[in-house]
Amino acid sequence: MKIGKKTLIDRISDEIAGMPAEGWHPGAARSTERVRCMTFKQYMSLCLYDRQDGYYRSGPVRIGRKGDFYTSSAVGTVLAYCLANYLLTYAAGREMQLVEWGAGTGRLTMQIQEAVKAKLDHSSDSSFRPVLIDDHPGHLDEAKLALSPYRFLSPLFLSSDEAMQTGGFWRELPTVVLANELLDAFPVHRITAERGELVELGVAGNAEEGFFEVHMPLSDERIAAALQRDGIRLTEGQQTEINIEAEEWLGSLREVMGSGRVIIIDYGHEAEEYTAEHRMKGTLLCYSDHSASDEPYLRIGEQDMTAHVPFTSIRHAAQAAGWEIVYYGTQKQFLVDYGAFELLQNHTEADPFGPKARMNRAVRQLLLSDSMSETFKVLILDKR
């Protein structure tokens, strides 16, 4: 089994050695021998976002058939069509900009622009200025190619660090930020209940065992506060994730953004489902070559890691940051509300792979047979 990138493994090992935090082996008393450790959130952040070797910042294209996972934008144009309907309704003729955060190769933004153009009878006057944000250089290179027909809209291609600078493009036009399967990729704290107390999952390591989990005291007081706010009580040994970084992102985004909205599309649950009895190990999963596993200590820097989005927590955090919730429902309901059925067409094509037949299948898959459209939620936030 492949362990991962040696340079990243060495860097994580050095970071752990310099950490002040100490943890203990699961099941052992806190008074037993301690080992140096970092939080799982710190470990996940290095695996995904290390500037030299992180999964999202290095290596080949990660999305679609070339990569390790599919996003909903990579399997059809239905979502793009419905998003275009929503954007046109919200814009009501105003000039706006569409900021896709975690844009990947730009496919979804391109599909939305094409749908907007088609609905406006090929008029370019009301198109949305595209701003694409991604931390993978290869993704931005492909996005520039994908958006080349829209150079007249002066698209921007930025890293997340560049995008969080106050002023600049944020103040030029009213903005819609699209976060499609973004929050699930933020590093999370992992928590469990041990002997009736909350403890955090940490990561330690040595030459013989590699990296392994330990228990450690909570590293951030906001962890316990979030569980209490959301009404979550863990049973003995049950694990869950706390996405503090998503809450911070919502707060920072509201500070830099002028007027506009944020559309969050992701797979996740309400608190009662997120920590249901059958989720004793939480929701964290790893993806490589379109296969899922629960092995975060293998293929280090070479596999994706995600946790389902805790939508109860996200809504509470958004409201605390000053956002107004203007829409919340399943992706399936959003697609119905914004015109998915308009894409169904009667046809006489003999070819089952013809464009009309393929579109009809895509709509039916999303609305009738795809349970993921129920698991996926759409949350829309407004800043006036």
Angle at 254 between CA 225 and CA 141, to 5 degrees: 110
Q: Which of 304, 300, 294, 281 is nearest to 210 (CA)?
A: 300
Ordered domains of the chain (ranges, CATH): 6-60+186-249+267-310 (3.40.50.12710)
Q: Find the range with the poorest average confidence among 30-39, 61-70, 134-143.
A: 61-70
pLDDT at residue 302 in the model: 94
Terminal Cα distance for the chain, rounded: 52
**pLDDT band of 66, cuts 50, 70, 90:** very low
Q: Specify the DSSP class assigned to residue 350.
A: S
Which tens digits make up the pLDDT trace of 225-265?
999 999 999 999 999 999 999 999 999 999 999 999 999 99
As a whole-number percent, the residues of the chain with pLDDT over 70 amount to 91
Least trusted range by pLDDT, from 11-20, 39-48, 135-144: 135-144
H/E run at residue 91: helix 78-91
Which of 90-104, 275-289, 311-325, 357-371 is least confident? Answer: 357-371
Tokens of 14: 């050095």
pLDDT at 354 over 80: no
CA–CA gap between residue 272 and residue 374 (Å, rounded): 16
CA-based R_g, the chain, Å: 22
Among 43-47, 150-154, 307-311, the minimum mean pLDDT is found in 150-154
Catalogue the long-range contacts made by 195-202 (C-beta closer than 8 Å, 24 or more residues apart): 195/236, 196/236, 198/223, 198/224, 198/227, 198/234, 200/39, 200/40, 201/39, 201/40, 201/239, 202/21, 202/23, 202/37, 202/38, 202/39, 202/40
CA 56 to chain centre: 12
Cβ atoms within 10 Å of 262's Cβ, excluding its own: 23
Mean pLDDT estimate for the chain = 89
What is the model's pLDDT at position 28?
82
Confidence (pLDDT) at 151? 86
Burial class (CB in 10 A: 0-12, 13-18, 19+), 161: exposed
- Rounded to whole angstroms, the Cα distance separating 1 from 265 reads 34
- Distance (Å, rounded) from C-alpha 203 to C-alpha 296? 11
pTM to 2 decimals?
A: 0.92
Q: Which two tokens stand for residue 221?
A: 């007081």
Which pLDDT does position 376 carry in this prediction? Answer: 92
pLDDT for res 74: 38
Predicted pLDDT at 65 = 44
Summarised one tens digit per residue, pLDDT across range 174-201 is 999 999 999 999 999 999 999 999 999 9
Q: Is 31 exposed, middle or buried (0-12, 13-18, 19+ CB in 10 A)?
A: exposed
User: Which carries the bigger pLDDT value, residue 369 or residue 163?
Assistant: 163
Pick from 98, 5, 106, 101: nearest CA to 63: 106
pLDDT, tens digit, for every residue of 295-309? 999 999 999 999 999
How many residues does this entry show for the chain?
Answer: 384
Mean of pLDDT values over 86-101: 94
